[in-house]
Amino acid sequence: MNGIHDMGGMHGMGPINPEKKEPVFHTVWEGRAFALSMAVDGDWPYGADRYQIELMPPEKYLRQSYYEKWVTTLVELMVKTRMVTSAEIASGKAIERKTKARHVLTAAEVPSVIAAGDPASRNVPATPHFRAGQQVRARNMNPVGHTRLPRYARGKIGRIERDHGVFEFPDTSVNGFGEKPQHVYSVRFAARELWGEQAALQDSVYVDLWDDYLEPA
């Protein structure tokens, strides 16, 4: 969706202000938030957690820190999928005996889970519609659901640099229309194509885009 999260090209966000010797977690709760998000075996599809963040009202999105947003959306998804109830969140006490967790992660499993990851690639054949070197246009689409095609690239012409292979498609995965695995390409956009004549002639932005986002140019 065209949400505030889609920040590519925005001005007015202020200076970057990197912190010297920044700790991994600024507070204890940040670490716990991170761990909870990783450990909870939620029954929601690929992309749903990102989309849940995108659904936050803009003021809240801008105000909440990174891990605050993780916790906010984790709770929302757990309530949505009835892993917990709002009453339980409000009271802090378990009311229902049954748990909806499909798997409870153990400490012993952590190293292997981290090592294995959660690949979004799919070992299925899918016809690529484009090939390296080809000129393409990112489609001008404005779905209200989840998408990974940023607004700044829509309608812009780029060149296929590389075919990354076949991956789950988040747009359909999130809205319940299935994985729809398809090729993902690295697409090179000249900076001038994206931002106009003021941009440097030789610079570019590479964006990873799914097949469905593209059309021949």
Partner 1 sequence: MTTSRRDFLTAAVTAAGAAVTPDLARAQEHDHDHDHDHQVVPSDPALRVKALESLLVEKGLVDRAALDALIDTYEHKVGPRNGARVVARAWTDPAYKQRLLTNSDTAIAELGYGGLQGEHMLVIENTAKVHNLVVCTLCSCYPWPVLGLPPVWYKSAPYRSRAVIDPRGVLREFGLELGDDVEVRVWDSTAELRYLVLPERPAGTEKMSEEELAALVTRDSMVGVGKVTTQA
Partner 2 sequence: MNGVHDLGGMQDMGPVQTEKNEPVFHEPWQGRAYAVTRAMGAWRKWNLDASRFQREQIAPVDYFRMSYYERWIVALVELMLKNRMVTPAELESGKPDPGSAKQTPPLTAEKVQILIAKGVPASRDVAVTARFHSGERVRARNINPVGHTRLPRYARGKIGTIHQDHGVFVFPDTNALFFGEKPQHVYSVRFAVRELWGEQAALQDSVYIDLWDDYLEPA
Residues within the interface to partner 1 (CB under 8 A): 2, 14-15, 17, 19, 29, 56-58, 60, 63-65, 68, 71-76, 79-80, 86, 89-92, 142
Tokens of residue 52, six digits: 């849940």
Taking the complex as a whole, the smallest distance from the CB of residue 127 to partner 2 amounts, in Å, to 22
Taking the complex as a whole, the smallest distance from the CB of residue 215 to partner 1 amounts, in Å, to 20
Partner from partner 2, partner 1, none contacting 178, C-beta within 5 to 8 A by type: none
Q: Which residues contact 91 (CB under 8 A, 6 or more apart)?
A: none
Partner from partner 2, partner 1, none contacting 110, C-beta within 5 to 8 A by type: none
Find the Cα–Cα–Cα–Cα dihedral 77, 80, 81, 86, rounded to 10°. Answer: 100
Taking the complex as a whole, the smallest distance from the CB of residue 53 to partner 1 amounts, in Å, to 11
Site string for partner 2, 33-62 (x = CB under 8 A): ---------------------xxxxxx--x
Among 41, 81, 135, 155, interactor with partner 2 by CB under 8 A: 155
Taking the complex as a whole, the smallest distance from the CB of residue 43 to partner 1 amounts, in Å, to 16
Strand order in the sheet with 204-210: 204-210, 182-190, 157-167, 135-138, 214-216
Rule CB under 8 A: say whether 4 interacts with partner 2: yes
Q: Which residues contact 75 (CB under 8 A, 6 or more apart)?
A: 84, 89
Count the site residues for partner 2 by CB under 8 A. 32
Question: Mutual orientation of helices 66-80 and 28-39 as an angle, nearest 10°?
Answer: 40
Distance CA 52, CA 45 (A): 11
Instruction: Count the Cβ atoms, other than its own, within 10 Å of residue 127.
Output: 8
Enter the DSSP assignment of 177.
Answer: S
Report the residue number, 12 or 133, with the smaller CB distance to partner 2: 12
Report the residue number, 51 or 70, with the smaller CB distance to partner 2: 51
Instruction: Count the Cβ atoms, other than its own, within 10 Å of residue 185.
Output: 28
Q: Which residues are at the interface with partner 2 (CB under 8 A)?
A: 1-4, 9-14, 54-59, 62-63, 139-144, 151, 154-156, 194-196, 198
